[in-house]
Structure 1
Amino acid sequence: MAPIGDNVVVSNMKLERMLSMKGGNGEASYVNNSQAQGLHAQSMLHLLRETLDGVQLNPAADIPFVVADLGCSCGTNTINMIDVIIKHMTKRYEAMSYNPPEFSAFFSDLPSNDFNTLFQLLPPYGGSSMEECLASDGHRSYFAAGVPGSFYRRLFPAKSVDVFYSAFSLHWLSQVPDIVLDKRSAAYNKGRIFIHGANECTANAYRNQFQTDLAMFLRSRSIEMKRGGSMFLVCLGRTSVDPTDQGGAGLLFGTHFQDAWDDLVQEGLITSEKRDNFNIPVFAPSLHDFKEVVEANGSFIINKLEVFRGGSPLVVSHPDDTAEIGHALANSCRSISGVLVDAHIGGQLSDVLFSHVESRATSQAKELLEKLQFFHIVASLSLA
């Protein structure tokens, strides 16, 4: 854990080396707080299958079919989606009377991702042949490997991947824009830890960073994808044309989470400068923000691009229990941003911060359930 005085968020390299969803199996871990993401992914399966139907089949069974999940994190969601992809492609091969090839699945995320927890969740490989794998309940029918690294750079050999899948990851930026943390800049995000409700200069700095990152992402994938392959991308999105209105992401990070940081300042636990040096590196794009980059890149054809209503990020058993809602929001927020918070202010103050998040969310529980809705940008792309 970094000392309290060390601002890790400013440094691009440090951010890349330590950013991850909260690992392990604890109460605030991503494993135990990603049910909503799983439900949202399930609701988009028809769109994913449409993308898979466009993948070109190779009748030569001696060439492996390769799937890569970019930003896989460490829960069961990524395993479930890889299963969906491989089972769907197997059925397509069989429908064409082709022998299904061997399948490889690459789980990719930043080096700090909890790959150990992820691979402990993987079922064992099913057998010595594809037929044995498919006949083995509770077993996987693919070879698995982890690929640590940023998806804003090259990760795979050229023309090696048939299907790229990435869900709930591309809204994470490679860095907080430098000018957002520069007191001399008009984009300095003074008094805030996110861009929701910030000034236009700050929001545009985040937007520019998102589009720069997405361009790098597309450039790398255009080299790595096999001809005839497809890519299915899902990231947080917004319906407003105003980038300072970050929708569900804004309500998650720009209200109770923001207020909790202000509480620490008012209680004298941190300085206002310490708060201002922490910014969440997330940007929810509009359709236009996304489409502009894809078209400028020119390597991909847009088969589908739409805003999809995912629903609430909170999964609770008792919607009338305000304490449960407050606890769920605090855990959800901590599972996503806790690693960054711990590194910036230390574990003890992090406990205090998320305690404030929980109490504030509990007092506004009814409003949270009604208004906290996530929208996603869903894109299906193939090589031009």
Structure 2
Amino acid sequence: MKDVFCMEGGQGESSYIKNSQVQSRNLQMMLPTLKEILDKVQLPRRPGKHLLTAADLGCSCGHNTLIVADAIVEHMTRKLRSCIFDDQDDGDAADPEFCFYFSDLPSNDFNTLFHLLPQHATAAAGDGSERRYFAAAVPGSFHDRLFPKRSINVFTSTFSLHWLSQVPEGVADKRSAAYNKDKVFVHGASQATGAAYRRQFQSDMARFLRCRATELKAGGVMFLVCLGRPSLHACPTNQGRVQLLYGAMFEESWGDLVEEGTIGRETMGSFNVPVYAATLEEFGEAVGADGLFEINRLELVITSPLAVDDPIRDRRAVANYVRSLLGPLVDAHVGRAVADEIFVRMQRRAEARAEELVDEMRFPHIVCSLSLA
């Protein structure tokens, strides 16, 4: 996973940058919650003498992480300027410097991301043509330590925490009770497979939270958004609408190539999508397990449908969207040519239900804000 996983890079038709408009709309809807948690950040007494730091974990390579960065810096600048500081001689107290860290796995297309950045950084508010923070890339897994102790004021992670650090143990092993035979996703799988996915999610969340608790400054906050599922789908093998992305037509398209002899059944059996959409209860339990964080807000939000801009793109939107998320994993498993065939088959299935699918693909997302306990 660490070596090959990323969103589809570049700026082609199936690239993440061309297929992440829906995440952008959803993010805009969630910005008020982000700003609400930013108000809980404890500021230093003389913030003009300090560097304020924020990091987006799972930043990918599109515009959305820049939306997050701009929102944080703008809101914190306004907050600082509205404060009255005891040291009246500190003329620049309301204008601290900001550093924003963009973090993702080393395979991420950081080049595309940094080409999107305005060329100049300044600590003072300008005319909007300049970014107001210094930027740096931090390659690595957010399930591991990424930053020095007590170095970050604000962590964000949007549309990323549902990705597991690995395919759960036993799921791709024919000798295991959890073997996900003739499937590539947990939806509709056996109870043993579902239990393996849930254990992996719990283990990954525990690692993620322990790392962030070490890296977060006292008085710092964290804002998290990830795929979720309604509580009525208590069983891990019922992933609700999320199966439209990673099961259903995608899984059937693999099956087509198995039936035609293009790939072997074991090749399909050894590929599994490392995604788990948790319920609010599962997410809350994971946060509360170690008692490291206090939950400020935890809710399930139904987000916008896929973004389409013309009738031709309507027919390709679903397949392109899924390829932007899964393309590199499929390419690494079966090669580019076979991956092309899988997504061609998926596109054909999606074309038959284009209008219905675009409306159906409105996914529940967990929105959570945390402070150190």
Q: TM-score range by the shorter chain?
A: over 0.9
Q: Which one of 113, 135, 142 corresponds to residue 133 of structure 2? A: 142
Who is 2:322 aligned against? 333
Other structure's SS at 2:111 match: helix
Q: Which segment is superposed worse, 374-383 or 179-188?
A: 179-188
Who is 1:21 aligned against? 7
Tell me, in whole angstroms, the C-alpha distance in 1 between the residues paired with 2:211 and 2:121. Answer: 32
Tell me, in whole angstroms, the C-alpha distance in 2 between the residues paired with 1:297 and 1:38. Answer: 32
**Shift, 1:309, TM fit:** 1.0
Matched, 1:73 2:60: yes
**Shift, 1:135, TM fit:** 2.0
Q: Which one of 241, 251, 268 corresponds to residue 234 of structure 2? A: 241
**Shift, 1:260, TM fit:** 0.6
**Shift, 1:59, TM fit:** 3.1
* 1:313-352 per-position Cα deviation (integer Å, ceiling 9, x unaligned): x21135xx4x533301111010000001111111111111
Percent identical pairs in the alignment equals 51
Who is 1:30 aligned against? 16
- Counterparts of 1:1-384 in structure 2 under 5 Å? 15-60=1-46, 61-97=48-84, 98-127=93-122, 130-131=123-124, 134-239=125-230, 240-312=233-305, 314-318=306-310, 321=311, 324-384=313-373
Tell me, in whole angstroms, the C-alpha distance in 2 between the residues paired with 1:166 and 1:371. Answer: 25
Tell me, in whole angstroms, the C-alpha distance in 1 between the residues paired with 2:371 and 2:130. Answer: 31
**Structure 1 runs of 4+ with >6 Å offset:** none
Q: Which segment is superposed worse, 58-67 or 151-160?
A: 58-67
Unaligned runs of 5+ in 1: 1-14
The question of whether the paired residues in 1 share the 8 Å contact of 2:2 and 2:105 is answered with: yes
**Shift, 1:48, TM fit:** 0.7
Q: Which amino acid aligns with 1:75?
A: G
Tell me, in whole angstroms, the C-alpha distance in 2 between the residues paired with 1:338 and 1:370. Answer: 23
Tell me, in whole angstroms, the C-alpha distance in 1 between the residues paired with 2:318 and 2:286. Answer: 33
Q: Which amino acid aligns with 1:308?
A: V
Tell me, in whole angstroms, the C-alpha distance in 1 between the residues paired with 2:266 and 2:176. Answer: 15
The question of whether the paired residues in 1 share the 8 Å contact of 2:180 and 2:269 is answered with: yes
The question of whether the paired residues in 1 share the 8 Å contact of 2:187 and 2:239 is answered with: yes
**Shift, 1:136, TM fit:** 3.7
Other structure's SS at 1:104 match: strand
The question of whether the paired residues in 2 share the 8 Å contact of 1:69 and 1:107 is answered with: yes
Other structure's SS at 1:135 match: coil
The question of whether the paired residues in 1 share the 8 Å contact of 2:158 and 2:225 is answered with: yes
Tell me, in whole angstroms, the C-alpha distance in 2 between the residues paired with 1:316 and 1:369. Answer: 8
Other structure's SS at 2:49 match: coil
Tell me, in whole angstroms, the C-alpha distance in 1 between the residues paired with 2:358 and 2:6. Answer: 26
The question of whether the paired residues in 2 share the 8 Å contact of 1:67 and 1:163 is answered with: yes
Unaligned runs of 5+ in 2: 85-92
**Shift, 1:370, TM fit:** 3.5
**Shift, 1:122, TM fit:** 0.5
CA RMSD of aligned residues (A): 1.1
* 1:211-263 per-position Cα deviation (integer Å, ceiling 9, x unaligned): 10000000000000000000000000000212111123211111110111011
Tell me, in whole angstroms, the C-alpha distance in 1 between the residues paired with 2:219 and 2:264. Answer: 54
**Shift, 1:267, TM fit:** 1.3
* 1:118-169 per-position Cα deviation (integer Å, ceiling 9, x unaligned): 1111112244xx33xx124311010000000000010000000000000000
Other structure's SS at 1:78 match: helix
Other structure's SS at 1:16 match: coil
Tell me, in whole angstroms, the C-alpha distance in 2 between the residues paired with 1:205 and 1:298. Answer: 24
TM-score normalised per structure 2 = 0.95
The question of whether the paired residues in 1 share the 8 Å contact of 2:318 and 2:358 is answered with: no
Other structure's SS at 1:18 match: coil
TM-score normalised per structure 1 = 0.92
Tell me, in whole angstroms, the C-alpha distance in 2 between the residues paired with 1:178 and 1:243. Answer: 16
* 1:329-381 per-position Cα deviation (integer Å, ceiling 9, x unaligned): 11101000000111111111111111101000011223313422211111100
Q: Which amino acid aligns with 1:275?
A: M
